[in-house]
Amino acid sequence: MLKLGLIGYPVGHSLSPWIHNQLMDKAGLKGSYELMEIQPEDFDHRIQALKEMNLDGFNVTIPYKEKIINYLDEIDEAAEHLGAVNTVKLENGRWIGYNTDGIGYLKSIQNRFPHVELSTRKILVLGSGGAARGIIFALAEAGCKEIDVANRTVGKAEELIKELEASLSATAIDLEQASQNIKDYDFIIQTTSVGMNPNPENQIIKLEQLNERAIVSDIVYRPMETQFLRAAQAKGASIQFGHEMLLHQAVYSFQIWTGKKVDVTDMLTDFEAVLK
Ligand code: ATR
């Protein structure tokens, strides 16, 4: 019996139990995936108690992706570089931390657009928070070089680029510049919370000059079809929904815990129904 779960605060609306129950089913494994809501002031003793519970692994969500690092016995290189962990595996009594957010995003794009060579694309990332970090790191690992990062607070975009630097030729710009130069980009990734319920009418930048050959993705998944994606689609661009990233990062976590790689192509329709 697999024992899995999620820690965070709040976790009540999480879709992870649904996803991981499906993954267990598909992999022919029996087990449970529990939501474990931890109040910030209880974190330390709840984590100590978790160590006694003998879980096979768990996911970590807001606000604990950084804090959990202090409690690990080992951390994967990418997660260490990002300074954030969303997946913990118990191995021989030791906790090992990973981050599957960026790689999950990359996989969801490769799945939807298998013939697109991302590394030669001129990319625009909107936002400079934790989600943007993971995605930019994964894009850099995949060989992407030309990435502009636009953020409301440009200084945060500059900082993020400096930290992730590596082989990137990245530039920090403001949202106005991003909107004005939008026709120059082949691939645009919206990583902020703008447009999320309860403000689905908000759109982070204008897409009037968008190139119709562009791919536009939004990591917001509630609502599934954001105003940003609707505007992109109206311009003739190809679009990618946020819930696909969610599904693929879960697939990677599941693979870390069980060694089983589950094909989720036929899960998408059911997942969309759950989201509605
Ligand atoms: P996450 O970890 O989910 O990425 P985060 O670290 O809080 O979340 O980052 C939120 C991102 O959304 C940031 O890029 C933030 O811009 P600032 O750095 O300027 O704060 C962006 N963001 C949030 N609300 C926004 C808004 N109303 N307009 C523009 N950008 C916004």
Atom from ligand 1 closest to the CA of residue 191: 4
The verdict on 25 and 56 lying in the same domain is yes
Ligand 1 center from residue 85 Cα (angstroms)? 19
Q: What confidence score (pLDDT) does residue 24 get? A: 98
**In the prediction, which pLDDT does 6 show?**
98
- One domain for residues 79 and 33: yes
Joined tokens for residue 143: 């060989």
Report the CATH number that the domain containing residue 209 is assigned in CATH.
3.40.50.720
Respond yes or no: is residue 276 known to be catalytic: no
Query: What CATH number should be reported for the domain holding residue 271?
Result: 3.40.50.10860
Q: Which of 26, 30, 65, 145 is catalytic?
A: 65
Beta strands 123-126 and 187-190, pairing class: parallel
Q: Are 183 and 130 in the same domain?
A: yes
Q: What is the pLDDT of residue 163?
A: 86
Residues of the domain holding 115:
102-241
Residue 224, token pair as written in the block: 């599934």
Return the ligand 1 atom nearest residue 131 CA: 4
Contact 228, 182 (CB under 8 A): no
* 119 and 29 housed in the same domain: no
Q: Cα dihedral angle (254, 255, 257, 260), rounded to 10 degrees?
A: 100
Total domains in the chain come to 2
Token pair 């991302």 is found at 118
110 and 217 co-located in one domain: yes
Residue 122 and residue 77 in one domain: no
253 shares a domain with 141 = no
pLDDT of residue 165: 66
* Residue ranges, the chain, pLDDT below 50: none
Q: Probe ligand 1: pick from 152, 175, 204, 228, max atoms within 8 Å of CB?
A: 152
Number of H helices, E strands in the chain: 10, 12
Q: Burial, 52: exposed, middle or buried (Cβ in 10 Å; 0-12, 13-18, 19+)?
A: exposed
